[in-house]
Structure 1
């Protein structure tokens, strides 16, 4: 199943990164009561808040409870004694569906989750499995496996996967006998979930990073019913199927400690804006994926306290995206028109995924999170000749 979207790759990904991924950090992790009062005093001054007394009373009444929570948190992770809010996924297991090389968002997400301490399992499209495993074994991905601490990302296990098929009964005979599937077994969604349960018992994070539209280069009016439904099946329903089969083995959330399992997918702005050339029903598939994200957030949240979000990523020069034929033009357009004039890196999407999978995002679910340098916010392309007389700032660097 080859990926076919600028922002959502089926195959794993060589992040367009020039540096190792950097973990998200913000502020100080724990503040003493005095430092909280000092910070509140500055805030009341700058924001014209009339009094800090209610806040001080709150601090006094809850200090013992806060100290207990802080002590427990610090005891669980000595790394936090250095301060900050590090993304800590130690002890967590993540399954990323759609990794088949080191050249896209799936790989970047795996790398960021690994940098945060998660154990990485991947599902690789069956026809690409042998090449991926061989390349990994021969060290072809070693350069892009380097983590911030200098170590190499380890993949605990690689599973053959074709997410178009839910169970063995769904696989047609011509696929079963296809030589590209020879030598592989247990690669339907149901079988992979069962294999992961047998090998690792449970997981904490599920990532859907795959898509396919066999007629993506055709305008929607020229797309066949078969091509349209194939795009929906591979790019949208595959996520529903993955979550359905993996949900029973995902560790349920614990509200007392703000712990929740997390499920993520990747979408693209074509779900809500016209992107000429991005056809074959893929824009419809992305719209369905985002709608499903909201519904799944409710259902998985109520069933097992699992959070469900999707990242709307900007265009990336992955091998899969190049198949569409106009990825370079899309990147140039984004650089010219987005609020931030720079090329998006896969690392930025990977880091966002790590944040969304972490306890720092414990209240975020059912959301579409844009990681596209702000292009989604634009109503018009400012590189149009119609704006040539306006003094629009441009990045000179």
Structure 2
């Protein structure tokens, strides 16, 4: 039987702080396929995340079909806004939520992985990171600082991670990130420069696939996921409306799940996708194909949307 087999491979999933987002679903799918999974967690959320795990609050979501639980090989502190510890402002480094975490930068995590597992400790890296401090503001009202932070954390961090983690990867290593339709379509309410950040992430995916592919032999892809009401996405303020609209207007109207994205990611980083790189893979129930809403009020006779 043809199956996804990641046995003997180690994955780093950056951007896991709870069990409600795509990062957690991808981590679970990778583990189910046989990979050892490490995660990188934002320092202010790290303590709460570890406490929830220790107290069994996530046991239900960690459970596999056979009753066993998802286990993380290591949980690291990671703030992908900083390439090196020195680049973090003093007020961040001295903050009590950061101070005890050691080197929480991207370079610091690369060094820690090597210290823990030796040379070339990675096979898979997942970038599940995004932040736009002004995401609720229209682009016209977004400050330069808010725009640059959105692009820096949500897009440039992928560039930095490929630069620092690709040398740590074994042959045929694979990167995957998460993007969204706002990169190429107008999504009113998804502001603060986040649409620009996602467009940059997709463009960088193509360039990184070429540069890192030639230099290190790794693959780089991104998944354009449909809207999902994770805890992080709730910060947008319109996520429920986005989910409902996408469901009502997609070719497949059944609700999208985080597992859909997790399974797609497991495929993309597996040997089954060895010929795929520089690609944006849509996992959105076909929503990206639509050029017209299926509002029944405007659907002509015979249009499937008439009965939606």
The residue aligned with 1:275 is 187
The residue aligned with 2:38 is 121
Say whether the 8 Å CA contact 2:134–2:146 is kept in structure 1: yes
Alignment deviations for residues 152-188 of structure 1 (CA, whole Å, 9 cap, x no partner): 1110000000000001110111111223223211100
Alignment deviations for residues 195-234 of structure 1 (CA, whole Å, 9 cap, x no partner): 0111112110000001000000000000000000000000
Tell me the secondary structure at the aligned position of residue 101 of structure 2: coil
- In the alignment, the residues of structure 2 paired with residue 390 and residue 313 of structure 1 have an alpha-carbon distance, to the nearest angstrom, of 31
1:186 to 87, 94, 103: 103
The residue aligned with 1:112 is 29
- In the alignment, the residues of structure 2 paired with residue 394 and residue 150 of structure 1 have an alpha-carbon distance, to the nearest angstrom, of 41
Say whether the 8 Å CA contact 1:115–1:148 is kept in structure 2: no
Q: CA RMSD in A?
A: 1.4
The residue aligned with 1:319 is 231
* Structure 2 alignment gaps of length 5 or more: none
Tell me the secondary structure at the aligned position of residue 323 of structure 1: helix
Tell me the secondary structure at the aligned position of residue 204 of structure 1: strand
Q: Which TM-score applies when normalising by structure 1?
A: 0.75
The residue aligned with 2:289 is 377
- In the alignment, the residues of structure 1 paired with residue 65 and residue 307 of structure 2 have an alpha-carbon distance, to the nearest angstrom, of 30
> How many residues align structurally?
306
- In the alignment, the residues of structure 2 paired with residue 226 and residue 307 of structure 1 have an alpha-carbon distance, to the nearest angstrom, of 32
Larger radius of gyration: 1
The residue aligned with 2:257 is 345
Tell me the secondary structure at the aligned position of residue 134 of structure 2: coil
1:240 to 156, 159, 173: 159
2:61 to 138, 144, 148: 144
The residue aligned with 1:251 is 170
The residue aligned with 2:130 is 211
The residue aligned with 1:392 is 303
- In the alignment, the residues of structure 1 paired with residue 184 and residue 46 of structure 2 have an alpha-carbon distance, to the nearest angstrom, of 33
* Cα distance change, pair 117–297 in 1 and its aligned pair in 2 (3 A): same
The residue aligned with 1:72 is none
Tell me the secondary structure at the aligned position of residue 210 of structure 2: helix
- In the alignment, the residues of structure 2 paired with residue 239 and residue 338 of structure 1 have an alpha-carbon distance, to the nearest angstrom, of 29
Per chain length, whose mean CA-contact separation is higher, i.e. which structure has more relative contact order (CA < 8 Å, sep 6+)?
Answer: 1
Does the alignment pair 1:286 with 2:198?
A: yes
* Cα distance change, pair 149–394 in 1 and its aligned pair in 2 (3 A): farther
Does the alignment pair 1:225 with 2:144?
A: yes
Instruction: Give the C-alpha shift of residue 304 in structure 1.
Output: 1.6
- In the alignment, the residues of structure 2 paired with residue 154 and residue 177 of structure 1 have an alpha-carbon distance, to the nearest angstrom, of 31
